[in-house]
Chains A and B, each alone.
Chain A
Amino acid sequence: MNRQRDRNYRARIEAALAATRQQDALHRFGDAYLEARRQAFTGMDFEALRQNVSRLKDEVDSHREDYLEQFSRLARAAGARVFRAVDGAAANAYIVDLARRHGVRLAVKSKSMTSEETGLNAALRQAGVEALETDLGEWIVQLAGQRPSHMVMPAIHMFRDEVAALFGEVTGEAEPVDIQHLVGVARRQLRNRFLEAGMGISGASLAVAETGTLALVTNEGNARLVASLPPLHVVLVGIDKLVPTLEDALCVLQVLPRSATAQVMTSYVSWIRGPVPREGQARELHIVLLDNGRSTLAADADCKDALRCLKCGACANVCPVYQTIGGQVFGDVYVGAIGLVLTAFFSGLEPAGELIGACIGCRACAAICPAAIDLEEIILRLRRRIGDREGLGLAKSLVFRQVLRNRRLFHALLRGASLLQKPVFGGRDSIRHLPLHFSSLTEWRTLPVIVEKPLRDLLPAVENQPVSGHRQVALFAGCATDFVHPRIGLSLVKLLNRADMAVSFPLQQTCCGIPALYGGDRETATELARQNVRALLADNPQAVITVCPTCSTALRRHFVELLQDDAEYAEAARRLAGITRDAAVFVAEQGPDPAAHVQRGTLTYHDSCHLKRRCGVWQEPRQLLSEAGWQVQEMERADRCCGFGGSYSFAGYPEISREITKDKVNAILRSGAAVVATDCPGCLIMLRGALEKRGLGLRAAHTLELLGEALPDSSR
């Protein structure tokens, strides 16, 4: 990765982190959005609706040229002119030429992200045509000389006082800082411009192949004026907006407003086919179908699902990184998760590099996307691609290739670290301070200490396991449990022993490879997959139990994918995936332990991103904890990321992590519980570290630890 670019990007993050008013606004928005969206989808089967959208978008994808031809033919039949623009420059040139030929001096625009993508306003300005944004948010951003920070709410990063100042410059008067008044100013200032303009420019949310119809989905009513009043109407629309039929378009409309603004329907949907009549003047409708990287994206099997995007902005609304640093930094023309992907294709992998690195991987985007795009997965694939192209950098390459692939060396180093850290942690179980420039890592959290005796040393010593061969399962601990929180593993053994099961710990198991995979080193991840498949299946266990949802994802999903072309391991990887179980689910299946029923107090539960949104598990841990006597008091947004994100919080963007963690700690505090439980050793490192540093006296624990303690013969 380019070092200068990286430095510049970090400077922009610092500036965004200092803008606390924006952060507050985006947080409040995110919370309000989720609740309003939930209401808007009440009584609807979101999963079915979005599968439907994804199907119809994929149908277009597999016959795109046919649908484009059909759309163009029918639009022309209704009198429209249709131009296929291969890239932004071609689209701009067509529109500029059109404006020249018609002597257009003023073009009024309704919101079009596609025109932001092509840089149309600048092209028109150079040709002497004023391009005036009429969407309120776009107008504000245009007056401020900025770019939109959100696809649906372009000026969400700005405030009423700033708007009043900008409008004051337009009217030449001091405008009161009152939103209703300011909206009135916009109406009065812009109304005549619609009537004067020689050209109206809009985007479109849908292009219907079976009729040649464009649908404009808006709230303000400016798009209707843009489409109706000037003698020329230009629609700049990406070829990804095609849908086969009107019925499909209506299906999209069932999810689009609900996802974008949590409305069941926007104020206006205008279905436009051909140039509608205008008194006394011939009217023209020009449709510019823009490719600009979309065909390349369509041909890219790893990423093509991104073309299903409806541009609703939901992925930004729920993104903890977006809420922390805003769309001006976490995006380019398009912001949020989809923005990262589209930037890579519309502007190139190079400029998208930092953005892609700044995703924390929490999957909130993938869960909310109304077109069922697995955004996080696509971002991971792009990260790997950047890793392949730009190299991993010396440090990563050393760690991944030389250390991680060699289990003995890796574990020897971890044991060595346990000795080295002694002077800094002074007998407690976490590091409070680090020397020199590492100290920024411990300013806001303590760091976990690597234990003297890892789980792999402790486990053979656990006595009274039921006779092997009765019911035998293997534990895959993962590094954090093995070397930081061995108690999690010991608790699991106790719990399963009571259910008359023997738990083995295959000693050849090693890192699941996720740090390498997510860091862009697929080769190391593949080698680790082989080592683990071999180790875990050696004794032919009935099940392999994971206590870390990220490891679980590796075993159940990534190993299969990484080894699918490996003649020796493909079948074994599938077998391992089939018998791998999340601890909470597996323990819950054994039924409640009757001895565990005592009132223990109140706890709150933090959903790990990977457990909830990868493994689909969130009910079982709550159920187990409440059966064990805990009263579960939900925190706000229990499934919002804790800020850990693996190496993200150490090497990647610890300054962003810090803010996300702060949000989580505040949510925990507001719950009023004295204990926070989670099922992920990674989250645990983060939560324990942050709670401890703030001296709050709250306890963070893995669900299994709490369940283990609830057993009769237990002491902490």
Chain B
Amino acid sequence: MDLTDRFTTAAERAGARVVRCPRRSALLDYLAAEAAGSILLPNFAVGSRLNLAAGLRQRNCPVITEDFRRLAPRADSGVTGANFALADTGTVVLDSTDEPLRLASTLPLRHFVILDPRKILADSMAAVGVLGQLQKHPDPGFTAFITGPSRTADIERVLTIGVHGPAQLHILLLQGVSEDLLES
């Protein structure tokens, strides 16, 4: 099994939905179809490269690109990229030091992550170096490992999704948008 397949299996086991998007338009169509209500779209490299804001607006989606503090609590969906991913656990890794990225990935019920499959690493041990690069620079940093949706089993051990964070985690695989593990 190649890394993408391994990643997909593990992420789906953790409750994420993994979608292979053949091209930009397919990704935008998926977002437009699955995102309900307003969409938080923070500034990130792949998002700009794909010109997501324009694409979503063309599809009549209400897109929020600023004033996140005020608007994020009522938004339904958030779209971010990912720095890289871990195949063995189905984890996406997002440097979310920028507040809009943090808000878009923590508050809404739906979180969409765009990931270039070339950024999938085998496991966490393969990520030691890049995690070090993210955490060793002089400025503050907030790196998130995200594996599946928000979950709890605190009432009678019954697995329940979406207690505080996103209830849905959609991982959109799109080839050819980034190979750089230090950008999302």
Contacts and interface: CB of A to CB of B under 8 A. Distances in A.
A98 interface: no
Interface stretch (A219-227, A304-312, A588-596, A613-621): A219-227
B131 interface: yes
Given A265-B91, A277-B98, A156 B131 contact: no
Contact of B164 (A134, A182, A264): A134
Nearest to B127: A250
Contacts of A458: none
Contact of A187 (B99, B148, B156, B162): B162
Contacts of B151: 219-220, 267
B143 to A, nearest CB: 4
A160 B155 contact: yes
B163 A136 contact: yes
A160 B156 contact: yes
A79 B141 CA distance: 11
Nearest to A269: B145
A158 B157 CA distance: 10
A195 B69 CA distance: 10
A267 B148 contact: yes
Contacts of A186: 163
Contact of A220 (B69, B89, B145, B163): B163
A162 to B, nearest CB: 9
Contacts, number: 178
Given A224-B102, A274-B141, A279-B99, A183 B152 contact: yes
B141 A78 contact: yes
A254 B99 CA distance: 29
Interface in B143-172: 143-158, 160, 162-166
A528 B109 CA distance: 67
B68 interface: yes
B146 A268 contact: yes
B89 A267 contact: no
Interface range for B: 35 or more
Given A224-B102, A265-B147, A79 B162 contact: no
Interface residues of A, number: 66
A224 B157 contact: no
A213 interface: yes
Interface stretch (B33-41, B55-63, B132-140, B174-182): B132-140
B73 interface: yes
A140 interface: yes
B131 A246 contact: yes
A78 B139 contact: yes
A191 B69 CA distance: 14
A195 B125 contact: no
B154 A221 contact: no
B170 to A, nearest CB: 15
A247 B125 contact: yes
A228 B140 contact: no
Nearest to A212: B135
Interface of A: 25, 29, 32, 77-79, 134-137, 140, 153-156, 158-160, 163, 179-180, 182-183, 186-187, 190-192, 195, 208, 210-211, 213, 219-222, 224-225, 227-228, 246-247, 250, 253-254, 261, 263-280, 285
> 3 tightest A-B contacts by CB?
A221-B165, A274-B140, A137-B154
Given A219-B150, A267-B147, 15 more contacts: A79-B140, A137-B154, A160-B155, A179-B160, A186-B163, A221-B150, A221-B164, A221-B165, A250-B124, A253-B124, A267-B148, A269-B145, A276-B99, A277-B98, A279-B68
6 contacts: A187-B164, A195-B73, A224-B102, A225-B107, A272-B141, A279-B69
